[in-house]
Amino acid sequence: MRSKNTQAFLRNRFDFTPAEARLVVHIVTGTSLKSSAKAFGVSYETVRRQIKSVFHKTGTHRQSELVLTILRAVNEMRR
């Protein structure tokens, strides 16, 4: 996944904030919430709040559902 292009696409497609799009890219690549928080220099609670918002915006309830939804959307974008 190209991070910048993918983040811009996700922001437009799902109305993510820049921070949410960045987190989603990390999640899709297999990074944990704790590792993402550390990498971004924010608290674990901050990324938990962001992922809850992402779940709401995508209509998903689990990280595995989220990953599938994002991969499908990115695949459609590339067609």
* pLDDT tens over the chain, length 79 residues: 567 888 999 999 999 999 999 999 999 999 999 999 999 999 999 999 999 999 999 999 999 999 999 999 988 887 7
How many domains is the chain partitioned into structurally?
1
C-alpha 76/C-alpha 79 separation (Å) is: 5
Q: Report the CATH number that the domain containing residue 59 is assigned in CATH.
A: 1.10.10.10
CB burial of residue 70 (10 Å; 0-12, 13-18, 19+): buried
Residue with tokens 């991070």: 3
Range of the domain at 60: 3-78
